[in-house]
A = this chain, B = another copy of it.
Amino acid sequence: MNRSNVTYMKISEKTGLSVSTVSRALKQPHLVKHATLKIIYRAIEELGGTLPDAVAPMTHDMRILAIVPVFNNPFYTDIVLGIQDAANQNGCQLLIVNETLSKFNIHQIINFISQSNISGVVIMQKLEIDVLDQLKLRTPLVQCSEFNEVNDISYITIDNLEATRKMLRYILNAGRKQIALVNSDPARYTYAKLRLQGYCETLEQAGITVNPLHIVTVPDGNFSTAVSAISALLKTASPPDAIFCASDIMAAAALRACALEGFRVPQDIMVAGFDNIDISVMTTPNITTINQPRHDMGFMACTQLLSMIADPTKLPQRFILDTELIIRESTDF
């Protein structure tokens, strides 16, 4: 900032904050609450000063928090490894907690953030709006994978619609017409809503009427539940000739259900997944899937967060990352 005309005292008078808080905000911004920094930076601009233009140097004590909603889901652990790599490259410590945020635990988390000198937070879930409002007031925040469709939050995600269309067009081109969808709960997860939409749109564009009996919802995406639900589908009078699953876990369940019910994959039924987590290469046949760049998503989420910490006036940014169709044995013969 231009200290010749905008003194700490002037900023203090304008904001009502103490001179020592103003001083700390400009010298050690990572020690000061995000909302306070915003107030100070706005005051500097209104007083005609210039903001610090260099990124504040990171200290080795800076701490980033990743809040993981389902700790033993490998999809999230791979994102966390990306966050960790970006944090470590910038000399930050990454802390991880295993919590699904809600109005019941948000105060505990906010207390923890302030007591533990947490500089910023990456979350991997969509929040209730009032929970999101409370959290974003207290800390710089980036959403990764799942996100809220509001204007003032940065997030990193993938194009779920386009990824789903890509997979469905591939299966249609392979000659399959009776394509089932095994999905998580579209009312709860944005990704599930978009994959359902992409499934319906692509079939309709191909002139195929969506068969409601071929849409199976496994609310929590659990393997055993999915095996039961898909086995039931395979026992009906009109089993599908392909199954597109909204996760690799559910695709592994589809392979298992096909084996139990005596269908050959891919000859009788093609099976495809989503995510490209480790399980997709461990089964036989291994699983055709959509690669989500999980490490990159985590890395970019943390990088974005660090730039927001360094410059609290930074506007929210959204990053929609590319996905890839990976063809393996479960659809290819």
Residues of A within 8 A of B (CB): 60-61, 71-72, 74, 77-78, 80-81, 84, 93-98, 108, 111-112, 115-117, 223-224, 249, 252-253, 255-256, 259, 278-279, 281-284, 286
A281 engages B223 (CB within 8 Å): yes
How far is it, in angstroms, between the C-alpha of A84 and the C-alpha of B71 when the chains are bound? 10
A223 engages B282 (CB within 8 Å): yes
User: Given that A256-B284, A282-B223, A284-B256 are known contacts, is A72 also in contact with B61, CB under 8 Å in the complex?
Assistant: no
Give the copy number: 2
| A74, A93, A117 — most chain B CB neighbours (10 Å) | A93
How far is it, in angstroms, between the C-alpha of A330 and the C-alpha of B111 when the chains are bound? 50
B94 engages A98 (CB within 8 Å): yes
How far is it, in angstroms, between the C-alpha of A108 and the C-alpha of B94 when the chains are bound? 12
Q: Which residue of B lies closest to A283 (CB)?
A: B283
Residues of B within 8 A of A117 (CB): 115-116
Residues of B within 8 A of A283 (CB): 282-284
How far is it, in angstroms, between the C-alpha of A78 and the C-alpha of B74 when the chains are bound? 12
A62 CB to closest chain B CB, in angstroms?
12
A115 engages B72 (CB within 8 Å): no
A94 engages B97 (CB within 8 Å): yes
Q: Which residue of B lies closest to A93 (CB)?
A: B112
Q: List 8 A-B contacts (CB under 8 A).
A: A72-B77, A72-B81, A93-B97, A95-B96, A96-B96, A96-B97, A116-B116, A279-B279
Residues of B within 8 A of A74 (CB): 72, 74
Q: Which residue of B lies closest to A118 (CB)?
A: B116
The 9 closest A-B pairs by CB, nearest first: A96-B96, A72-B77, A259-B284, A252-B282, A116-B116, A95-B95, A71-B77, A84-B98, A283-B283
